[in-house]
Amino acid sequence: MKLSFRWYGYDDPVKIEYIRQIPTMDSIVTAIYDVPVGEIWPVDNIKKLQKTVAENGLNFDVIESVPVHEDIKLGLPTRDKYIENYKENIRNLGKSGVKVICYNFMPVFDWTRTELNKVLEDGSTALVYYKEHVEKMDPLTGELSLPGWDSSYTKESLAEIFAQYDKIDEEDLWNNLEYFLKEIIPVAEESGVKMAIHPDDPPYPIFGLPRIITNEKNLDRFLKLYDSEYNGLTFCTGSLGSGSFNNIPEMIGKYAAMKRIHFMHVRNVKLLDDGVSFEESAHPSRYGSLDIVEIIRQLYVNGFDGYIRPDHGRMIWGETGRPGYGLYDRALGATYIAGIWETLEKTYKECK
């Protein structure tokens, strides 16, 4: 297990030198954030980022993410141009020592929440998703803007993209994903870079848009689209765990044994009574609906040796900044994960 931490680059309020101080921290998870989606990342920008990470005593192993252009997801004639650019990014990142690229295939929006600073009982704030709020939201009003969403869309361009997706169903999205994988995975194999798709967050359709990386059946189908160790998963416990229909420990045990989990996002969520709504919580099992200890145990007993990072954290101790991505609670999550792993190592060693 290699412990990692997401850093949003030079403008991130969280300083990289602070991340280095987290015990057992191995790698920085980052990306190039100032290049438009679909374009080739300048090699000099990659080298500068690599140098910054190395100077802070950390490894430059995981990129999260290289975004997939909407034309690829829609299967438009222009997709081949953007796929060629994507291939070049894989090659350049591979030459820079990157081992894993995380990406997603969610139409239009990345992770979706209805509130970014919900005050919890202990006074901390967290990201939440309430079904009744989603039902009242209309992304076409131009009033929605959440971290992780592409803010470059105007009200008019967003309406145009939604109109294009009116013609796309789940099977179309599957076909477009397969086309993409058949183009990029051979390049990933040649470059020594493992591709790791992130599940949809939350794992069900929103605003009428199709979502397909949502459950065990669909993960099985995804892995068969291109059967290669370089075609794998970013297994996000919070994303998949937001669906009560997913048995997270069992799924992790299965895919870890198959060596198809290349990157783990670990966070806890508290599922609410309607079966759809949830609140993000502190990492320890007692605070949410997921058994984090059993999740880490499944990774350990199935020989997981990939990258793992604490995912969204609460904002605690008066910290301000990017909601879900403060330093303090994610650092607590990292040490919690590392503590479980060390306990498993010593316990299983004594049992042998």
pLDDT, one tens digit per residue, over 82-99 is: 999 999 999 999 999 999
Residue 352, pLDDT score:
58
Q: What is the pLDDT of residue 205?
A: 86
Q: Domain limits of the chain?
A: 2-351
Q: What is the pTM of this model?
A: 0.94
Q: What is the overall mean pLDDT for the chain?
A: 93
Q: Which residues of the chain have pLDDT under 50?
A: 147-148
How many angstroms separate the Cα of 259 from the Cα of each of 194, 230, 234, 236, 299?
11, 10, 12, 16, 10
> For the domain 2-351, what is the CATH code?
3.20.20.150
Beta bridge partners of 115: 128
Q: Which of 149, 112, 135 is nearest to 280 (CA)?
A: 112
pLDDT, one tens digit per residue, over 85-134 is: 999 999 999 999 999 999 999 998 888 888 889 999 999 999 999 988 88
- pLDDT recorded at residue 142: 55
The tens digit of pLDDT for each residue in 43-80 reads 999 999 999 999 999 999 999 989 999 999 999 999 99
